[in-house]
Amino acid sequence: MRQVVLDTETTGLETSQDHRIIEIGCVELVNRRFTGRHYHQYINPERDIDEGALEVHGISSEFLADKPVFAAIADEFLAFIEGAELVIHNAPFDVGFMDHEFAKLENFARTVNYCTVTDTLVMARQRHPGQKNNLDALCKRYDVDNSQRDLHGALLDAEILADVYLMMTGGQVDLGFGGQSQRGGDTGGESIRRLSTDRKTLKVLRATAEEVVAHEQQLARIERASSGQCLWLALEADSAVTE
């Protein structure tokens, strides 16, 4: 299962006013694991940026002046996301802007023709009705470190959303790894610590024959003391039947 967690920054809020994408950030997950692959691009929108948008993301027209236009990066961007499930917070906003950009080009279709889309905002509202469900609120709820998020940035937001999404869909709120988070800073000992994809394989230590015998003897004692209610033995019996 390939997923791409995606975020964009834009010149304003409305495509009807021809506002444009100025930054794209994507993080790749395969089978719910970070692969280390990402896509990040600043884009020259060929128009001014609204003051309100500038206050949110801090990306100026001067900074974008020498960046490529969307037409120049459309093929490589599509190659990165095509065939994936896109994971986006408030997906109609980002997908609407992507469709707006694709519509300006020849031989490009709408986003849903290339990808499926999962909206984490809808997911969060279903899990936490009546509560704040913006990305900052979800970081606090799921104890995901967003200490580097002074301004919005598409790649940083995509990385944070990936952590939130995995926590939201994994059935755990606190992994309790302790220590420092991968993004830096003291997390109080309860935030996500992302493991390196090139870490050494953990050794598998199997029980010795003596340990197996001791285990079986202990289960027998529990079975007698509980008048035949040892759950472990019941699970073993069920497993033997299904095999």
CA distances from 196 to 18, 115, 159 (A): 41, 28, 15
Read out DSSP for the chain? -EEEEEEEEESSS-GGGT--EEEEEEEEEETTEEEEEEEEEE---SS---HHHHHHH---HHHHTTSPPHHHHHHHHHHHHTTSEEEETTHHHHHHHHHHHHHTSTT---GGGT-EEEEHHHHHHHHSTTS--SHHHHHHHTT---TT-SS--HHHHHHHHHHHHHHHHHT-S-----SB-TT-SB-TT-S--PPPTTPPPPP--PPPHHHHHHHHHHHHHHHHHTTS--HHHHHHHHHHHH-
Per the document, the length of the chain is 243
Q: Is 40 among the catalytic positions? A: no
Structure tokens at 172: 């755990």
Catalytic-role residue among 40, 100, 152, 215: 152
Active site residues: 152
